[in-house]
Structure 1
Amino acid sequence: MDKRLTVLNIVISDREAAAKVNEILHGYSEYVIGRMGLPYGERDVSIICVVLDMPTADASALSGKLGMLQSVTAKVMTPKI
């Protein structure tokens, strides 16, 4: 399966969910190019942006796993390049 450049944006509204998010991301570490985490105290959320190079089906599976977590929103963007 062909790999595609993928950007995964995650918003966590409860810090308790962060450990589970990191555990799930670790399972896909072979695809990770880089990640940036931003705690935004004013709104009491954490924002994580992860850049990956992975098959589209795996990106959807990853987003789905994260989206099933309480207090977590995850969206995938796959550019046409």
Structure 2
Amino acid sequence: METRIAVIGIIVENSESVDKLNSVLHEYGEYIIGRMGIPYPKRKVNVISIAVDAPQDIISALSGKIGRIPNINAKTAYSNVICGTDE
């Protein structure tokens, strides 16, 4: 199965949405390479980046689920590198 590397940039505008976000991320944990969260109290938001290595449809599903959570905005950037399972 071919996989791609992508980064999902997330802005959490209300901390009440964090539990739902963490639940979705846990569901896709096997594909997550790393996660970095930066609180920004001055603007009352949190900025999170998630690096993933997964098939295209999995990345799209994860990004879509995150984007449907209230008070959360997400965008995905994809690498042009496509990897096979034997790499």
Partner of 1:77: 77
Task: Quote the Cα distance in structure 1 between the aligned partners of 2:69 and 2:33.
Answer: 23
Please list every run of at least 4 consecutive aligned residues from structure 1 whose deviation after the TM superposition is greater than 6 angstroms.
none
Q: Which string of whole-angstrom CA distances, capped at 9 and with x for unpartnered residues, describes residues 50-72 of structure 1?
A: 11100111111111111111100
Partner of 1:23: 23
Report the CA distance between 1:80 and its aligned residue: 1.1
Query: What percentage of residue pairs aligned between the two structures are identical?
Result: 41
Give 5+ residue unaligned stretches, structure 1: none
Task: Quote the Cα distance in structure 2 between the aligned partners of 1:50 and 1:66.
Answer: 11
Task: Quote the Cα distance in structure 2 between the aligned partners of 1:33 and 1:53.
Answer: 7
TM-score normalised over the length of structure 1: 0.95
Report the CA distance between 1:79 and its aligned residue: 1.5
RMSD in angstroms over aligned alpha carbons?
0.8
Partner of 1:56: 56
Task: Quote the Cα distance in structure 2 between the aligned partners of 1:32 and 1:66.
Answer: 14
Partner of 2:47: 47
Give 5+ residue unaligned stretches, structure 2: 82-87
Q: What aligned pairs does 1:2-41 form with structure 2 within 5 A after superposition?
A: 2-41=2-41
Pairing 1:67–2:83 present: no
Q: How many residues align?
A: 81
- Which has the higher Rg, Structure 1 or Structure 2? 2
Q: Look up the SS of the partner of 1:24 in the other structure.
A: helix
